[in-house]
Structures are given as structure tokens and as C-alpha cells.
Structure 1
Amino acid sequence: MRCTFVTLFPEIVEGYFGASILGRAIEAGHLRIDFVNPRDYSENRYKKVDDAMVGGGAGMLMSPQPLESALQAIRAESPEARILFLSPVGKPFRQTDARRLAGAQTHLVFVAGRYEGIDERLIELYADEVFAVGDAVLTGGELPAMLCCDAVARLLPGVLGNADSLAVESFDASLLEAPSFTKPDEFRGKRIVSEFLKGNHSKIAAIKNRMAWAKTQYFRPDLYQKAKAKL
């Protein structure tokens, strides 16, 4: 899969995808990351990419022309690309979206806004989807874009060293993932559930299921009610 970041600050993104699991995925050819900087497409003699908001308001907006030219260049080179804008007003990005995009797309374009955001007309003209990653406003769209790309990329075949890691994860079946433990068996007076040490996988699975339900009820009662409704 190819993921393109449309950003004024590619250096923010580049370091993250050059390390660890995703870095190895890129080296192995499972994932391709590239960047398009709207500043390179600005027709302003000073390469200006922002302007004041019409009608007043604090801060600046990204200007339409550089961003449109950048997106048109991407479309011309990759007509099948799916363009995703990141915005606090978008629909919440879910694990189901990550699975859908990982399974159906070959080229994703993540548009990361800056300043006070992006001229709404650009979103209406070019967005295939608009995502938010939480009820918070950040200084730019790079972090949300990286979050979405990471969630998609780890689902691609060959990216994770152990594909079984994807078998039972948070948000599958509307439940949070059950707690996990490693050695030692006792740490600061807290012991691992004894049944986990006996190797009876059916019992371990049943206990983890109960723990997942309890954890979801405590941390995410909204998901808990959703999971109960599916029973």
C-alpha cells in the first residue's frame, strides 16, 4: 500500500515511519510512504500558503490554490487514490475504518491541515472522507494523519511479525482487549491470574473474555452497551 502525506512539515512524519515495525515494513516493500508539500505548488512569489479568513476571525487558513494544485497533481498521477482529510469536525476514525481501508485501498492520501484549518471549499471538492481522531484540537493534522496511517498499515499482510497479534484486539466485537501480563509471575505484590500459568487455553480464553467485558464496562460504558445489544 502507498500512503501519501500532504503536509507543510514532512519532517514531522518522516521520522516516525522510518523506525521500528513500520520502518521494516517499508524496507520489505509492504508499505510505501511519500510526501507532497503544498508550498511547492504555491504560485505566490514568496511561496505563501496561508491567508486571512474572510468575514473575520483569529488566525489564518491554508490558501486554496497551493493545496488544490497539490491534490490535482496527486490525482493526475494516481487516479485511484483515496483522499482523506483530518479535521476535528470529521467523523470519528474507528478500527472498522482502518480494516476497511486496509482491505480495499491501494493508495491513501492524508491531508494534514495547519493554522486555523483548510478552506471548506477544498474539503467539499476533494475529500473522499473526513476523519477526526478525538474531541481535541491540535496545532496541525500531522499527528491525526499518522495515527490513521499507522492503524491501517499494521493490518496489511506482512507488516506485523506475528499475524496472530491481530486476532483479538480492542474494538473487535465492540470490546476492549483483555489485560495482558508477562514475567515475573509476581510483581510488587500483584500476581498474574493463576489460571494463566497452567496452559489450559480454553479456560484462559474464557477468563480473558470476562476480563474484556469488565474492562469495557469500566472504561467505555458506551461500547459495553453496544456489545450487550449484539448478544
Structure 2
Amino acid sequence: MKFTFVTLFSNLIEGYFQDSILSRAIEKQLFTVDFVNPRDFSQNRHNKVDDTAFGGGAGMLMTPQPLYDTLHSIKQEDEDAYIVFVTPVAKSFVQNDAKRLADKKHIVFVSGRYEGIDERVVEEYADEVLSIGDYILTGGELPSLVMCDAIVRNIDGVLGNSESLEVESFESELLEAPSFTKPQIYKEKNVPSEFLKGNHSKIRTLKFALSECKTSFFRPGRHLKHNTRKSYEK
């Protein structure tokens, strides 16, 4: 699988792939990353990529020409490239999106800067527009990385133990249950005794109850489907 980041600041992204799980996955050629800078396609003699917005307002917008030509070049090289624009003004990215997008062969993340991107570019080239939340960042690089990380984990072979995907938050309607490790007692706080007895049926039952508690606290009002227990205990 291939990820292309369209960004003015590739150095904000590159370092993330140089260590740990993702670095090893790249070494195994499970996925690749590359970067394209719209400035390289600017026809402005100063390589300018922004301008004031029609209708007034503070800040600058990314102008259409550099991005049009950038994405046209990418599509000419790979007509199946799936282009995702990252913006807070969009559908929220969730775990099911990560799993769905892991089946794509080539995803292109377009990271905006300044006050955003001229809408005509989005209308022309977006296969999908996604947000990671209702808040504003200084650019789209972090949201692109968040989505890429979530997607990559669903590629076969990236995680050392693929079973870990099955019990994580959002794989059912519940948030993941609390986890504990050694020592058994730390600063006078003990691990719940049921986790120590080796009865996996009772452990699953406790984890389910704890997951329900977490979900009701952090996601009040979430509708839980009647088959949640079954999906959690697989």
C-alpha cells in the first residue's frame, strides 16, 4: 500500500515513520510513503501558493493552481490514487473508516495550511473529505498522520499480534476495558482479583462490565446494540 502526503511541510511528517512499528513495516515493504510539495508546481515566480480570500476575512487561502497541478500529476501517474482532503469541515473519521481505507492501494492525503484550500480544488479532486474532530489546527499534517496511522494498523502484518485489533475500543459498540500489568500492587492500588485467577470466562465477563462502565461514562447516551456482548467476547 502507498501513502502520498501533499504538504508544504514534509519534515513535519517524515520523522514519524522512522521508528517503532511503522518503521519496521516500511522495511518489510508492507506500505510506502512519499511526499509532494505544491510549491514545486507553482507558476508564480516566487513559488507563492496562497492569496487573500474573496469576500474578505482574516488570513490567506491556498490558491487553486498549485494544488490542481499537483493532484493532476499524481492522477496521471496513478489514476486509481484515492484522494482524501483533511479538513475540520467534514465527516468525522472513525475506526470503520480506518478498516475500510486499509483496502485501498494508494491514498493521497491533502494537507491544507493557512485558512484552508480554495473549494474548487476540493470539488474537482476529492474522493473523500474527512475530519479528526471539531477543533482547529495550524495545518492538515497532524490529521493526515492520525488517519494514516489508524489505517496502517489494519494492514496485514503491520502489528506483531493481529489479535490485538479484535479487542480494541470501537471494534464493538463499547470502549476498551481497563488493562493492568505487573506489579500486582503499586502505591497501595491492587489489580482486580478476577484478573489474577486464570478463569478466562470470568475475566471476559468482568471486562465486558468494565467496558460498559467506561462507555456510559465517556460516551453517555451511546446506543448499545443487543449483540455487543457477543462481539466483545469473540
Q: State the TM-score, normalized to the length of structure 1.
A: 0.96
1:230 positional shift: 6.0
- 2:14 alignment partner in structure 1: 14
- 2:223 alignment partner in structure 1: 226
- 1:75 alignment partner in structure 2: 75
- 2:180 alignment partner in structure 1: 181
Output the CA distance in 2 between the equivalents of 1:62 and 1:230: 47
Secondary structure of the structure 2 residue equivalent to 1:196: helix
Output the CA distance in 1 between the equivalents of 2:142 and 2:226: 34
1:11 positional shift: 0.4
- 1:161 alignment partner in structure 2: 160
In 2, are the aligned partners of 1:62 and 1:117 still within 8 Å (CA)? yes
Structure 1 residues not aligned, in runs of 5+: none
Secondary structure of the structure 1 residue equivalent to 2:51: strand
Please tell me the residue identity of whatever aligns with 1:50. D
Output the CA distance in 1 between the equivalents of 2:174 and 2:85: 28
Q: Deviations over 1:72-123 (max 9, x none)?
A: 0110111111100010111000001001111x21100000000000001111
Output the CA distance in 1 between the equivalents of 2:33 and 2:198: 41
Output the CA distance in 1 between the equivalents of 2:86 and 2:151: 15
Structure 1 residues 96 and 115 mapped into 2: Cα distance closer, same or farther (>3 Å)?
Answer: same
1:89-100 alignment runs, 5 A limit: 89-100=89-100
In 1, are the aligned partners of 2:174 and 2:212 still within 8 Å (CA)? yes
In 2, are the aligned partners of 1:39 and 1:49 still within 8 Å (CA)? yes
Structure 1 residues 124 and 230 mapped into 2: Cα distance closer, same or farther (>3 Å)?
Answer: farther
Q: Indicate whether 1:49 and 2:46 are aligned.
A: no
1:183 positional shift: 0.4
- 1:84 alignment partner in structure 2: 84
Q: Give identity over the alignment, percent.
A: 58
In 2, are the aligned partners of 1:88 and 1:133 still within 8 Å (CA)? yes
Output the CA distance in 2 between the equivalents of 1:134 and 1:57: 23
In 2, are the aligned partners of 1:173 and 1:227 still within 8 Å (CA)? no
In 1, are the aligned partners of 2:52 and 2:60 still within 8 Å (CA)? yes
How many residues in Structure 1 have an aligned counterpart in Structure 2?
228
Secondary structure of the structure 1 residue equivalent to 2:217: helix
Please tell me the residue identity of whatever aligns with 2:198. G
1:228 positional shift: 4.4
Please tell me the residue identity of whatever aligns with 2:176. E
Secondary structure of the structure 1 residue equivalent to 2:156: coil
Q: Deviations over 1:23-70 (max 9, x none)?
A: 111111011011110000001111101011011110000010001110
Please tell me the residue identity of whatever aligns with 2:96. T
Moved over 2 A (4+): 228-231
In 2, are the aligned partners of 1:85 and 1:130 still within 8 Å (CA)? yes
- The structure carrying a bigger helix percent of its residues is 1
